Structure 1
Amino acid sequence: MQQRTISKAVEVVGIGLHKGEPIKLRLEPLDVDAGIVFYREDLALSIPLSPAAVIDTKMATVIGSEKGFISTIEHFLSAIYAYGIDNLRVVVNENEMPAMDGSAISFCLLLDEAGIVEQNAPKKVIRIKKAVEVQDGDKFVRLTPHHSAEFDFRIKFDHPVIGDQDHSFVFSTENFINEIARARTFGFAKDIQYLQSQNLALGATLQNAIGLDDHKVLNPEGLRFENEFARHKILDAMGDMMVTGHNILGKYESFAGSHHLNYQLTSKLLADSTNYEFVTENELQSREFAKSFA
């Protein structure tokens, strides 16, 4: 299996979740071993993707520095993970990614439009060699060695619509599109009102998130999946794992995980070289992982 980029540049305009203003997103191909590089066009600022670039995780995964930042990258990165993209320039003209419909499906469609091409260098995958875990009370996120890429997420909310939910997902591009990509982010009406009073979440609407009051879903169309909330948490986790810049061969498990715990997990993983190794598909001696990107 070879490294991947897109065959042509593509762009789209969408509303930012926090500012509520239009944001232009442009994707451009990059050469082998260039990695995923974000670029603030308005600041002429490049931000190579890595856990070291993460500067905030309170409401989303945010990368940058004192010179500038880009927020809410995780939904986009889940699609990058799913399509096996290794090298890409991600250009925006604002400090956040467009929210689209609150899921990853619009980014999948954009990648389909761009087309995927294999490059003249082997794809490097992070293979988990031993268990790595981060805990916060009863909350945890964990990576363990596994023969395939799998995600298992459980959440528990004191809300009649959400309650105790879980979802297990064996990764493939096709499975991602069918099971995960359309799962939307969600928020509670009382929290949105407070955030908007702080000039945040100004772009949040029922067109780019699932809205909940104390008793029910506010979206007229309802849910896309019975356990859409747990599925979206897997979407977030995939995007947060992609902050490493590579696909991961191993099993991810979580109860009530968050962007912050995911950031701590990727940082802890890469801090100790005995936790993982970079391997190519030839070294894996298996076509199964490569087939998952078909």
Structure 2
Amino acid sequence: MAKRQGTHQTTLRDRVVVSGIGVHSGKPVAMALNPAEAGTGIVFHRIDSGDMQPIHARIDRLHATDSCTTVAFDGVSVATIEHLMATFNGLGIDNVVVEIDAAEVPMMDGSAAAFVELIDQVGIVALAAPRRFVKVLKPVRIEHNGAFAELLPHNGRRFEIDIDFSSPLIGRQAFIVDLDADVFRRDLARARTFGFMKDVEFYWSRGLALGSSLDNTVVLGEDKVINPEGLRFADEFVRHKTLDAVGDLALAGAPILGTYRSYRGGHRMNAKIVETLFADSDAWTYVEAPVPAKRDLVHDQMPVRLPAAAFGPDKS
């Protein structure tokens, strides 16, 4: 099927259900992804909470970024949303209602691959409404303890991620990508979260990361990767950090047209740069893609590289 530019908002063709283990609680989690109308955005419903208050996956609902990204509303939260949000952002999915019966998204294999496979079961459909983007108009930057994150004007969706670990198993790695659905599937979706054995043992001793295992985490010992199968990519570590950034920047509530660059970043800085961007009304604007004549726009992949000239400003 021919690819189409990402001019329309999208959703899932049908409901799809998945279950897994929460990486922090170690308890089973069931989750359903449901189609949603244009303008809904990504919304979580904690079906175990009783009141079913919607929790919008937006920066104004950010609750915590300590070891994962958590959104909350009215005392109800959903944690570890970054890989699922990266999948929506990477595949170009704008509107989904996520029903979940626990306080965290299932970890699956520590990457976004299972969520991509889940969405492929039902497919993606375009809606009769234009997609809205957040366009970066001028540079914004934050720094902390030698690390930095910045957003720069760019006629596309570029990520330039640089990590630097003292461990010789990781060292310094850089990854640059112009994001679209093909790139996300091929280069980012399968990159797994990682951690050091000494840290895992520390968390376990305090009742944390109870669902963490070699099945969902790349674990590093003093001199080797503990997982018997090894790495999926030689630079899997920086690819996973890029995956996290794609998920965290989705808290903007719309795809960001610009370059995101970070050095030694993480969930906290990823979220903070979105807050910093929105705090300066001169640094960004909303733009919409023009909608072509109505026709069948069902698709399974939707690249989002779009020229700036195709958009008109809209700060509403």
Q: What is the TM-score when the length of structure 2 is the normalising length?
A: 0.88
- Correspondence 1:129 to 2:140: no
Q: Which residue of 2 aligns with 1:232?
A: 240
The match for 1:244 among 237, 245, 252 is 252
Shift in Å, 1:4: 0.4
- Could you say which residue in structure 2 is the equivalent of 1:144? 152
Does structure 2 retain, via aligned residues, the 8 Å contact 1:134–1:265? yes
Q: Which runs of 5+ in 2 are unaligned?
A: 1-6, 292-305, 312-316
1:253 to 244, 261, 277: 261
2:198 corresponds to: 190
Asked if the contact 1:101/1:184 (under 8 Å) is kept, the reply is yes
CA distance in 2: counterparts of 1:145 and 1:229, whole angstroms = 27
**Cα distance, 1:114 vs structure 2:** 2.3
In structure 1, runs of 5+ residues without a counterpart are 290-294
Report the CA distance between 1:65 and its aligned residue: 3.8
Write out aligned runs for 1:167-206 (5 A). 167-206=175-214
Matches within 5 A, 1:3-14: 3-14=9-20
Report the CA distance between 1:273 and its aligned residue: 1.9
Mapping of residues 90-129 of structure 1, within 5 Å: 90-129=98-137
State the alpha-carbon separation in 2 of the partners of residues 123 and 171 from structure 1: 16
The question of 1:273 aligning with 2:281 is answered yes
1: distance between equivalents of 2:126 and 2:281? 28
Partner of 2:59: 51
Q: Is the 8 A contact 2:91 2:184 kept in 1?
A: no
Matched, 1:25 2:20: no
Give the structure 2 partner of residue 292 of structure 1: none
Matching of residues 84-95 of structure 1 within 5 Å: 84-95=92-103
In the alignment, the residues of structure 2 paired with residue 239 and residue 21 of structure 1 have an alpha-carbon distance, to the nearest angstrom, of 23
AA aligned opposite 1:194: F
Tell whether the 8 Å contact from 1:151 to 1:170 is kept in structure 2 after alignment. yes
Shift of 1:272: 2.0
Q: TM-score, normalised by structure 1?
A: 0.95
| Conservation of the 8 A alpha-carbon contact between 1:281 and 1:287 | no
Native 8 Å contact 1:184 1:228 kept in 2:
yes
Residue by residue, what CA displacement relative to the aligned partner does 1:214-235 show, whole Å, maximum 9, x if unpaired? 1110000000111100000000
Greater shift in the superposed pair: 260-269 or 60-69:
60-69
The reply to whether residue 160 of structure 1 matches residue 168 of structure 2 is: yes
CA contact (8 A) 2:156 2:307 kept: no
Give the total of aligned pairs: 289
Alignment correspondent of 2:8: 2
The CA deviation at 1:67 is: 2.0
Query: Any idea what SS the aligned residue of 1:182 has?
Result: coil
Amino acid at match of 2:209: A
Task: Tell me the CA shift for residue 285 of structure 1.
Answer: 5.5
Structure 2: which amino acid aligns with 1:16?
G
> 1:40·1:92 contact (CA, 8 Å) conserved in 2?
yes
Deviation at 1:270, TM superposition (A): 1.2
Instruction: Tell me how large the CA RMSD over aligned residues is.
Output: 1.6
| SS class of match (1:282) | coil
Partner of 2:84: 76
Which structure 1 residue ranges, 4+ long, deviate > 6 Å from structure 2? Answer: 286-289
Matched, 1:42 2:48: yes
Change (3 A) 1:185 1:288: farther
Q: 1:162 to 1:33 in 2, by over 3 A?
A: same
Percent of aligned pairs with the same amino acid: 39
Shift of 1:282: 2.8
Q: 2-side partners of 1:180 and 1:123: how far apart?
A: 23
Looking at structure 2, the residues matched to 65 and 58 of structure 1 have their Cα atoms a distance apart, in angstroms, of 18
